[in-house]
Amino acid sequence: MLPTPREIFTSFERGEIEREEMHALMALHARELIQEMEEDHQNPAAAWVESLLARRAAGKLVRKHSARLLREVLVALSDVPDFAPARHLWNAAHPDVPLHCFLRMRREPVFRILSLDSDAGEIRLIVEHGEAARGKGTRREFLLKRDTAWKLRAEAV
């Protein structure tokens, strides 16, 4: 699995990889993004529907839980090792990136938040990712707790 950009930057800052390797790995991510933009250009109707569905889902989550908490949850998920959707969530802390950009309702690999329940300092989260066909995606449940620095950390349930 390709490391996330955050993991790439961390490896570079630690001196584990050279600048050329960092650029090569980031170029792979860039190519993936460009390919998705080309697909959107070729099929604007599907891209528009995907955007509407993601905006609707993000809006519901924000109204119920707040944008700040939703960003914190997405950042915590981006730190989960070997969690495939992390490669799309690595920039969730950046306030200039709209929250709906991190949700993938129909476009594979999908990433949907099925349930988010906050109770007594803990957050229970159920997500679905992977295949778009109904019932084919992988469901995972996480328990998110705050550490001593008050940062959310995800634990698989």
The DSSP element (H or E) to which 50 belongs, if any, is: helix 44-65
Whole-model pTM: value is 0.89
pLDDT by position in tens, the chain (length 157): 788 898 999 999 999 999 999 999 999 999 999 999 999 999 999 999 999 999 999 999 999 999 999 999 999 999 898 888 998 998 999 999 999 999 999 999 999 999 999 887 799 999 999 998 877 889 999 999 988 888 899 987 7
Q: What are the residue boundaries of the structural domains of the chain, listed by start?
A: 43-156
91 CB burial (10 A radius; 0-12, 13-18, 19+) = middle
* Closest C-alpha among 55, 73, 77, 59 to residue 129: 77
| Phi, psi of 73, deg, nearest 5 | -65, -45
